[in-house]
Amino acid sequence: MEEKKRQKFNQEFIDSAVKLVESSGKSAAEVAREMGLPEWRVRTWVRKARNKALNGGQENLLQEIKRLKKELARAEEEATILKKASAYFAQHQK
């Protein structure tokens, strides 16, 4: 029995296949036929690319949340300082 060698594709080739599906409006099956690939392989590449894009977006959201939490903590600290200062000056003006 003959062993089949596993085909390897470079990232540029994979990206071009995904880009064809995303931008041309063609289905993964149509792009797969045009490129002489199994449909499941193109679908897998597209799914992975979409998940990667979503995860990148989530990472950006997490960074934004972290930044906003720091900003909120600083604003709360400033508000506390201002309250204490106004109470101090209100007592010493009398």
Write the burial class of residue 28 (CB in 10 Å: 0-12 exposed, 13-18 middle, 19+ buried): buried
Question: Taking the chain, what is the end-to-end CA distance rounded to the nearest angstrom?
Answer: 101
Q: Which of 48, 47, 46, 52 is nearest to 20 (CA)?
A: 46
Identify the CATH class of 11-92. Answer: mainly alpha
pTM, rounded to two decimals: 0.56
Q: Is the pLDDT of residue 43 over 60?
A: yes
The DSSP H or E segment spanning 6 is: none
Helices (H), the chain: 11-24, 28-35, 39-92
Q: Is the pLDDT of residue 94 over 70?
A: no
Q: Is the pLDDT of residue 2 over 70?
A: no
